Structure formats: structure tokens, C-alpha cells
Amino acid sequence: MLKLQTSIASDAFWSLITWNFSGAWNLELEFQANVMSAQKSPPLVAIIMGSKSDWETMRHAVETLDDLGVPNEARVLSAHRTPDATTEFARKAADRGLRVIIAGAGGAAHLAGVIAAHTWLPVLGVPIQSKLHGLDSLLSTAQMPGGIPVGTLAIGEAGAKNAALLAMAILATSDETIRQKLEDFRRKQSEAVLAVKLPK
């Protein structure tokens, strides 16, 4: 009997090979494979940004998910400039298999709130650094009236990176592979901090 198990993570490896001999000649080969690349798997996280000019910030969310092997998609949609397409995206997101949406916008940043209004999926907002140092973006994203939540992260690059990690934490509650990757990331991060050598 041959049993093949796969999961969504990107790094291909053969983690367990167990040979079980039962009866006279019955051979059971059991192995676990983790062979599907993040790029080929259906996206679990969408990274939406209000403008191409947001990419330099939002790419940190994309790169974090790519580095940790979480299938994702990224695109520009604007609450103001493409309202119909934004609404359509949000309405269809859950049925497409997406599980978390990250939305980054700057200025009068309504993108995360508009998306959240049209989906039950968790929406994480990233305020983009703006002409007002991102405070306008932060308040526009965070100050949702009660009833439609947006989980708002820090302004700029750190917020984008943390949005990806928080998306992973949400997925990790029901995905063992992603939980392991998140824990590995945390462990390596701690090791790197403890290994720092100061000039003195």
C-alpha cells in the first residue's frame, strides 16, 4: 500500500519514510511529502494595495509570505478609483479559497474598511506612510465604527511585514505546516538576536 500525503509549503522534502513489513510479503511504504510550491498552490492570503506607489511598502508583506512559503496573490485595487472591482474582489474572495486579506492604503485610506464590508474574511490593514507621515492613513484604517472590524498594523514597512506574520498566525490555528513555519521563523529570529555581537 502506498500512501502519499502532501501539504502546501514550498520547500520540497521527504520527511518520513517508514517501511512496515506486515504478514509474509505485504509491504507498506508510508511517506510524507511536502512537494507543492507556494507559487503553485491556490493563494490563501491576498495582498491588496491602493496604488502601485504602495508597492515599496507592501512588498514586505509579499516577501515575508513568499520567504515562509505561504501561497499568496498581490494586486492593486482602490476603494476610490476602482470601487466596483474592489467590491467584486471582496465578495468573491472567500469562495476563491482566500482565508486572510491584507489591505494597504495611504491618505484617506478606506481600502481595508471597504473590503471588510464585503467579506467575512479577516482583513488586516496596513497604513502607508503619507504626506502626513502616515497618521491620516493610520486613523482612516483603524478607526472603523463598531460592527465591521479591520485589524490595523503599524504604519509602513513594519506594518506590512507584521500583517504577513499575523496572517500566518491566523492560518496557523488550522494549518499545522504554517504553524511550524511560524514557530521556526520565531526561533531563528530569537537566535539571531541572541547572537548579536556589540562593538564593546
Residues near ligand RP5 (CB under 6 A) are 50-51, 53-54, 78, 105-107, 128
Q: Closest approach of Cβ 190 to ligand RP5, in Å?
A: 33
Q: Closest approach of Cβ 109 to ligand RP5, in Å?
A: 6
Pairing of strands 100-105, 72-76: unpaired
Q: Closest approach of Cβ 161 to ligand RP5, in Å?
A: 17
By beta-carbon proximity to ligand RP5, the closer residue of 10 and 86 is 86
Rg (CA), the chain: 20
By beta-carbon proximity to ligand RP5, the closer residue of 72 and 130 is 130
Are the beta carbons of 111 and 102 closer than 8 angstroms? no
Measured from the Cβ of residue 88, the count of other Cβ atoms closer than 10 Å reads: 13
Q: Closest approach of Cβ 52 to ligand RP5, in Å?
A: 7
By beta-carbon proximity to ligand RP5, the closer residue of 62 and 128 is 128
CB-count exposure of residue 66 (10 Å: 0-12, 13-18, 19+):
middle
